[in-house]
Structure formats: structure tokens, C-alpha cells
Amino acid sequence: MEKNVKISMLNQFYGKLLTQKQYEMIDDYYNNDLSLSEIAENNHITRQAVRDILKKGEKKLFEYEEKLMFMRRTLNQEKKIEKVLAELTKIQKNDSDKQVANVLEHIKKELNCLI
């Protein structure tokens, strides 16, 4: 996974554990595509200060993920659900019983809500 995407996702999972400034600057840099200079100007600080805040925030995000592994677990769970959905679709296509097809469709809808 690309580093920028990973940091953006980590910020969604753990961002509220960061300081308000770290959270906002990471959001501006990775999600709103603002440059260091733009963020610095908006916050009335130097470009270097923005960079330092970003680096500290990124480090914290990676530490949280290393300890808690929420993002890894969530991504693994989504992959497993997608595999189950694919299998259900195969069964649904090969089975002609309408009652079974209705049950499978209901299960697929429920699983889709988890993704």
C-alpha cells in the first residue's frame, strides 16, 4: 500500500488520539492535498514547524497501528467478507431453489453492510 494512502487511513483510525494540530495538519497534507507552505501560512508557523508536526504525528500513527493493529484487522476482515460474498454468489448462480436463493441474497446484503 502506498505510504500516503496508509497514513491517510491510519489518520482515520487513530487521528483523534493525536493532538488537534497533528490531526488537522495530517488531514490537510494527505487528504486535502495542501502543501507544507500552504499549511504553514494557514497556521501562521514556519514550513519546518509543519514538517516537524507531520513527522511526529505520522510516527504516532504508526506506533498506534503497531500496538493495536485495528487497520490490519479491518482490512483482513474485509478481504474475508469479500471471499465469502464471492462464494455465496457462486452457490446462488448454481442453485435453482428460490428459497435458498432468497436466503443467500439476504446473507449477501448483511455481509455487504460490514464492508
Taking only the tens of pLDDT, the chain with its 115 residues reads 799 999 999 999 999 999 999 999 999 999 999 999 999 999 999 999 999 999 999 999 999 999 999 999 999 999 999 888 888 888 777 766 777 777 788 888 888 887 7
One domain for residues 60 and 79? no
Spatial separation of the C-alpha atoms in residues 15 and 8, rounded to whole Å: 9
According to the model, what pLDDT value does residue 10 have?
A: 97
**Are 80 and 102 in the same domain?**
yes
Looking at the fold, whether 96 and 61 belong to one and the same domain comes out as no
Domain limits for position 7? 3-68
**What is the number of other CB atoms lying within 10 angstroms of the CB of residue 34?**
17
Per-residue confidence (pLDDT) for residue 99, from 0 to 100 = 75
Say whether both 62 and 8 belong to one domain. Answer: yes
- CATH number of the domain encompassing residue 39: 1.10.10.10
Domain co-membership, 63 together with 78: no
Question: Could you tell me if 8 and 52 lie in one domain?
Answer: yes
- Residue 40 and residue 13 share a domain: yes
For residues 15 and 61, membership in a common domain is answered with yes
Same domain flag for 63 and 48: yes
Whole-number Å distance between alpha carbons of 14 and 23: 9
Residues 15 and 45 in one domain: yes
CA–CA dist 29, 101 (Å, integer)? 47
Looking at residue 87, its pLDDT comes to 83
pTM: 0.77
11 & 60 share domain:
yes
How many distinct structural domains can be found in the chain?
A: 2
